[in-house]
């Protein structure tokens, strides 16, 4: 049985008086790398914490690998890497991983495997405190990889790393995915979108696009992922504005009609209707040339 | 909760401390130095004979309170606790792991402090030395349990250190070191009688002077034990898998 990796229905999360996520519906299939992108403060971490089961959920349901999120069975099947490297500074890399392996109940040999896979063999006996930021991040990733979980939830694993290290990490992610695991990777570096198989764009606690890197570029006629996201966000804002304006006057001759029409009805949430309806706007050809 | 995870946690905590030689030095040497200082202050009097045992009760308690509250606060803040609770680690594994590790340290610390107090400072121990260790360990575990509790209510290291005066100083003041408890105003005497450290001080004084029988001492240990269990239960309630 394959089933979905993650299913959410009407997921609502409140923090104090703020509603961080309001009625989110989401279905993510198994396999592949799913990018969760969005500006900081858009609710990425909160959603990930809900998936791992450490977040208090105020409404709706969320299930992971067919079980309710956070259930005891899932603790062996889901690996979680928090935003800051959550490892013990005063232990060596190997001692950190040995401890997490014993907690996870996996054999010692797995420690060597994850050390090798994350390229930490040279630092294995170094105290975590003496590692560079990128190395500490990889220890944290290695801990999440222990026991080869079916789902890996990685919260901004590449934040603050130079392009070479980022590229190395994405190489590791790809290898894990090739072995059949599902990875949910958050980032606010939009250009990392092209490394994913599937993309979710979050903004203010809502998923405003559910697409693939190719569709994203094609539908927005943008040259880069970053530009594409800016256009989607622009269009989103315009849609909101124009719907309020439309309520006042039926004759809404919007100046930004091209981009608004392109994405007005959140077509990205369902992939097939993306390329329809065909656009006849004169502006479209200008955009396409760029 | 499983023994292997509890032991893994205890081993990990001890390994962390082993990698921090300065902390080990402070843990093991400071109590003896302070006991020596008190003995020196009261050099020409018999005061040390009466308050010496109480000193032995204070140090494991205070030191373990500080060490536990700060290290669990670090776990909460660094994200390691969140990681552990998303793994198959029971809350009991976490707390008992810490208790075991620090209990072991307390035995070592007490052994050195008692050795120093008896050999160098000339403190008399009339009752069995085993009872003295049992009281000291109970005392250290009490510090561990209360430290765990304090860390749940602190957001920063600054706050957790401020909890020491709140939770520890009243117990020292009302424990009968400064003035025997039966000479305190009534209300304070009653409060003092319910505080765990008072009983630790009573028990250690009894061990040292030999004025009471073993049952008296065991009753006090039992009382401290009840406090430890309560603090651990309340402390474990503050370790939540799901947080806002």
Q: Which of A15, A70, A82 sits opposite B83 (nearest CB)?
A: A82
Average pLDDT value for residue range B29-54: 86
The DSSP secondary-structure symbol of A129 reads: G
Interface membership of B85 toward A (CB under 8 Å): yes
The full set of domain ranges for chain B reads 3-237
SS3 label, residue B171: helix
**pLDDT attached to residue B243:** 82
**Residue A35: partners with Cβ closer than 8 Å, 6 or more residues away:** A185, A186, A187, A192, A193, A195, A196, A198, A199, A200
Q: What is the mean pLDDT of residues B137-161?
A: 85
Residue A173's pLDDT is: 92
The predicted model gives B34-48 an average pLDDT of 86
The answer to whether A97 and A109 are in contact (CB under 8 A) is no
Q: What is d(CA A140, CA B77) in angstroms, rounded to the nearest whole number?
A: 15
Tokens of B227: 């406090």
Distance between CA atoms of A53 and B61, rounded to whole angstroms?
36
**Residue of B46, B66, B60, B103 whose CA lies nearest to B201:** B60
* B89 CB within 8 Å of a chain A CB: yes
* Segments of A113-159 assigned E as strands: 151-154
Write down the pLDDT at residue B78.
87
**pLDDT per residue as tens digits for the range B74-111:** 898 888 998 998 888 888 888 889 888 888 888 888 88
* Pairing mode, strands A4-15 and A206-211: unpaired
Indicate the residue of B79, B87, B93 with minimum beta-carbon distance to A75: B87
- Tokens, residue A213: 């890197």
Question: Distance, in angstroms, between B101 CA and closest chain A CA?
Answer: 15
Q: Provide block-wise average pLDDT over 10 residues at a time, chain A (290 residues).
A: 81 88 89 89 90 90 89 89 90 95 92 92 93 90 92 89 86 91 89 88 87 86 83 79 58 39 38 39 40
| ipTM for the complex shown | 0.85
The greatest distance separating any two alpha carbons of chain A, rounded to the nearest whole angstrom, comes to 70
Residue B35 has pLDDT above 70, yes or no: yes
CATH number of A4-215: 3.40.50.300
- B128 interface with A at CB cutoff 8 Å: no
Q: Which of residues 185-224 of B touch A (CB under 8 A)?
A: none
Q: Locate B120 and state its tokens.
A: 């160098």
Q: What is the CA radius of gyration of chain B?
A: 18
Two tokens at A108? 């010692």
Q: Which sequence spans correspond to the domains of chain A?
A: 4-215, 223-289
**From the CB of residue B153, how many other CB atoms can be counted at a distance below 10 Å?**
13
Total number of residues shown for chain A: 290
* Residue A247, pLDDT score: 54
Of B204, B212, B170, whose CA–CA distance to B188 is shortest? B170
């Amino acid at each position: 049985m394959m089933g979905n990796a993650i299913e959410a229905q009407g997921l609502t999360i409140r923090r104090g008086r703020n509603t961080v996520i309001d009625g989110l519906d989401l279905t993510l299939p198994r396999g592949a790398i799913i990018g969760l992108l969005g500006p900081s403060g858009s609710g990425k971490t909160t959603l990930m914490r809900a998936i791992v089961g450490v977040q208090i959920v105020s409404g709706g349901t969320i299930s992971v690998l067919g079980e309710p999120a956070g259930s005891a069975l899932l603790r062996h099947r889901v690996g979680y890497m928090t935003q800051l490297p959550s490892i013990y500074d005063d232990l060596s890399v190997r001692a950190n991983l040995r401890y997490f392996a014993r907690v996870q109940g996996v054999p010692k040999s797995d420690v060597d495997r994850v050390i090798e896979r994350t390229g930490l063999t040279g630092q294995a006996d170094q105290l975590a405190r003496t590692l560079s930021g990128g190395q500490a991040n990889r220890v944290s990733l290695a801990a999440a990889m222990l026991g080869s979980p079916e789902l890996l939830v990685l919260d901004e694993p590449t934040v603050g790393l130079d392009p070479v290290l980022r590229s190395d990490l994405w190489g590791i992610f790809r290898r894990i995915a090739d072995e059949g695991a599902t990875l949910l990777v958050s980032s606010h570096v939009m250009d990392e979108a092209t490394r994913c198989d599937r993309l979710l764009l979050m903004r203010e606690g809502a998923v405003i696009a559910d697409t693939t890197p190719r569709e994203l570029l094609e539908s927005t006629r943008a040259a880069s992922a970053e530009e594409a996201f800016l256009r989607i966000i622009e269009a989103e804002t315009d849609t909101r504005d124009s719907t309020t304006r439309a309520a006042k006057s039926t004759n809404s001759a919007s100046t930004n009609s091209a981009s608004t029409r392109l994405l007005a009805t959140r077509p990205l949430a369902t992939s097939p209707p993306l390329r329809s309806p065909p656009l006849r706007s004169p502006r479209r050809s200008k955009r396409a040339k760029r | 909760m499983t023994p292997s995870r509890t032991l893994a946690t205890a081993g990990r905590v001890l390994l962390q401390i082993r990698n921090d030689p300065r902390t080990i030095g402070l843990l093991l040497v400071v109590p003896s130095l302070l006991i020596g200082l008190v003995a020196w202050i009261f050099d020409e009097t018999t005061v040390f004979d009466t308050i010496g045992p109480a000193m032995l009760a204070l140090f494991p308690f205070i030191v373990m309170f500080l060490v536990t509250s700060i290290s669990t606060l670090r776990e909460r803040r660094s994200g390691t606790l969140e990681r552990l609770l998303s793994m198959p680690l029971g809350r009991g594994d976490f707390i008992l792991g810490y208790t075991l590790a620090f209990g072991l340290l307390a035995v070592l610390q007490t052994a050195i402090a008692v050795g120093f107090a008896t050999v160098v400072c000339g403190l008399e121990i009339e009752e069995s030395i085993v009872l003295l260790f049992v009281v000291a360990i109970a005392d250290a575990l009490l510090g561990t349990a209360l430290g765990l509790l304090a860390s749940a209510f602190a957001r920063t290291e600054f706050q957790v250190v401020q909890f020491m005066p709140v939770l520890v100083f009243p117990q020292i003041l009302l424990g009968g070191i400064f003035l025997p408890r039966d000479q305190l105003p009534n209300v304070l005497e009653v409060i003092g009688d319910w505080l765990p450290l008072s009983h630790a001080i009573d028990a250690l004084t009894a061990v040292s002077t030999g004025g009471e029988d073993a049952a008296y001492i065991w009753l006090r240990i039992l009382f401290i034990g009840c406090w430890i269990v309560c603090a651990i239960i309340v402390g474990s309630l503050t370790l939540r898998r799901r947080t806002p």
